[in-house]
């Protein structure tokens, strides 16, 4: 399950590359979340999945969806739209496993062992190495081309994915992921639609074949497949261990980009992949201490 999740989640960045030239970011996210909701509704009916028994449970699912989908993806897309290079945004959001590890103790009562801390640090170092080749040419111009808004948006994305993971683990553990997804994506749809209007997006979409393929991929493979796996893994495992899997996303994304778009992989990137994998293995295979 973790291997399939990492592979599917990594293709999200490739899908974004396909659709963003043809749609504004918040408009696209609202459309993506709405279509995902429509897909999950018949799945809930067909499987006779149990809906939340109380308004409080439904409310928890809505909050989780706003954090995991709305704040995280909205922040990343907005930062890139504001001029922040995708590599820098990925590096900032890549702090998520470390931030999660800091929070799981006081919030969830989970203990992170010394070996797991070592793995988390190694994982982030590996991510930085994978992205290092792309960041190096612009290292002297790191903060040029985008302003404080892009930095704040990326910070919001980091907090959103971290808080969403912890909130899902704490309050939504007993919720069936299928009706939970309907509530989560419905809340995210409303939020992204409202933000698109408030920020002046006109909702224009160029319905090209490339856009339609990217949209279908991001809805079915990412929002339905990968997100469902994420919800199941959060429910079954420790938050810090699940979060550590995100360290594998940049290396796998780099491999996919190399295969599809012939993007080069330098020695630093290849070494970083090995370091990131080692870090994740330390976190996953280390028992509680």
pLDDT surpasses 80 at 143: no
Tally: H helices and E strands in the chain: 14, 0
SS3 (DSSP) at 109 = coil
**Out of 81-90, 221-230, 231-240, least confident range:** 81-90
What's residue 124's pLDDT?
Answer: 78
What's residue 71's pLDDT?
Answer: 95
Interval 219-240 mean pLDDT:
84
Distance CA 98, CA 128 (A): 14
What's residue 169's pLDDT?
Answer: 83
Cβ-contact 192, 29 below 8 angstroms: yes
Question: Which among 264, 193, 261, 207 has a CA at the least distance from the CA of 21?
Answer: 207
Question: Which among 112, 114, 87, 85 has a CA at the least distance from the CA of 100?
Answer: 112
Provide the pLDDT confidence category of residue 1 given band limits of 50, 70 and 90: confident
What's residue 245's pLDDT?
Answer: 77
Torsion of CA 183, 9, 169, 156, to 10 degrees: -80
Interval 169-193 mean pLDDT:
91
SS3 (DSSP) at 136 = helix
Provide the pLDDT confidence category of residue 139 given band limits of 50, 70 and 90: very low
DSSP 218: I
DSSP string, 192-210: HHHHHHHTT----B---HH
Length of the chain: 289
Q: Which two tokens stand for residue 59?
A: 């409310």
Provide the pLDDT confidence category of residue 238 given band limits of 50, 70 and 90: low
| CA distances (Å), origin 57, targets 2, 173, 184 | 27, 10, 12
Provide the pLDDT confidence category of residue 77 given band limits of 50, 70 and 90: confident
Provide the pLDDT confidence category of residue 135 given band limits of 50, 70 and 90: low
Of 269 and 146, the one with more pLDDT: 269
**pLDDT tens digit sequence for 185-203:** 999 999 999 999 998 898 9
**Out of 19-23, 95-99, 269-273, 282-286, least confident range:** 282-286
Work out the angle at residue 267's Cα, subtended by the Cα atoms of residues 262 and 273, and round it to the nearest 5 degrees.
Answer: 85
pLDDT surpasses 60 at 285: yes
pLDDT surpasses 50 at 180: yes
What's residue 261's pLDDT?
Answer: 64
What's residue 3's pLDDT?
Answer: 82
Interval 265-278 mean pLDDT:
75
What's residue 69's pLDDT?
Answer: 93
Q: Which spans in 51-147 are helix H?
A: 55-65, 72-81, 86-93, 96-108, 114-135
Of 205 and 123, the one with more pLDDT: 205
SS3 (DSSP) at 89 = helix
| CA distances (Å), origin 14, targets 213, 238, 256 | 12, 28, 8
Cβ-contact 246, 97 below 8 angstroms: yes
Q: Which residues contact 163 (CB under 8 A, 6 or more apart)?
A: 67, 71
User: Quick one: what percent of the chain has pLDDT higher than 90?
Assistant: 32
Distance CA 153, CA 73 (A): 10
User: Which of 251-256's residues contact partners 24+ apart within 8 Å by CB, and which partners?
Assistant: 251/126, 251/127, 251/130, 251/276, 251/277, 252/6, 252/7, 252/10, 253/10, 253/11, 253/13, 253/14, 254/130, 256/10, 256/11, 256/14
What's residue 138's pLDDT?
Answer: 47
What's residue 141's pLDDT?
Answer: 45
**Out of 141-150, 211-220, 222-231, least confident range:** 141-150
What's residue 85's pLDDT?
Answer: 65
Work out the angle at residue 95's Cα, subtended by the Cα atoms of residues 216 and 73, and round it to the nearest 5 degrees.
Answer: 25
Q: Which two tokens stand for residue 115?
A: 């070996």
Chain position carrying tokens 């793995």:
119
Q: Which of 32-46, 91-105, 166-180 has the highest mean pLDDT?
A: 32-46
């Amino acid at each position: 399950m973790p291997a399939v999740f990492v592979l599917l989640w990594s293709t999200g960045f490739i899908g974004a590359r396909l659709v963003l030239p043809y749609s504004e970011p918040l408009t696209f996210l609202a459309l993506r979340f709405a279509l995902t909701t429509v897909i999950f509704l018949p799945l809930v009916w067909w499987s006779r999945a149990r809906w939340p028994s109380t308004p409080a449970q439904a409310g928890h699912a809505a909050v989780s969806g706003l954090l995991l989908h709305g704040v995280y993806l909205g922040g990343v897309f907005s930062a890139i739209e504001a001029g922040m290079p995708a590599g820098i945004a990925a590096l900032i959001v890549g702090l998520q496993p470390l931030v999660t590890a800091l929070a799981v103790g006081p919030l969830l009562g989970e203990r992170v062992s010394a070996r797991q801390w070592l793995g988390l640090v190694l994982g982030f170092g590996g991510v930085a190495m994978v992205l290092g080749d792309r960041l190096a040419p612009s290292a002297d111009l790191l903060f040029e081309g985008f302003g404080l808004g892009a930095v704040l948006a990326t910070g919001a994305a980091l907090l959103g994915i971290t808080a969403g993971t912890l909130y899902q683990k704490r309050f939504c553990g007993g919720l069936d992921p299928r009706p939970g997804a309907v509530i989560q994506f419905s809340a995210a749809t409303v939020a992204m639609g409202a933000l698109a209007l408030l920020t002046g997006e006109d909702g224009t979409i160029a319905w090209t074949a490339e856009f339609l393929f990217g949209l279908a991929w991001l809805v079915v493979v990412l929002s339905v497949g990968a997100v469902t796996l994420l919800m199941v893994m959060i429910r079954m495992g420790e938050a810090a261990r699940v979060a550590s899997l995100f360290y594998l996303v940049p290396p796998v994304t780099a491999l996919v980009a190399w295969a599809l778009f012939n993007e080069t992989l330098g020695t630093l990137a290849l070494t970083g992949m090995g370091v990131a994998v080692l870090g994740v293995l330390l976190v996953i295979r280390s028992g509680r201490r």
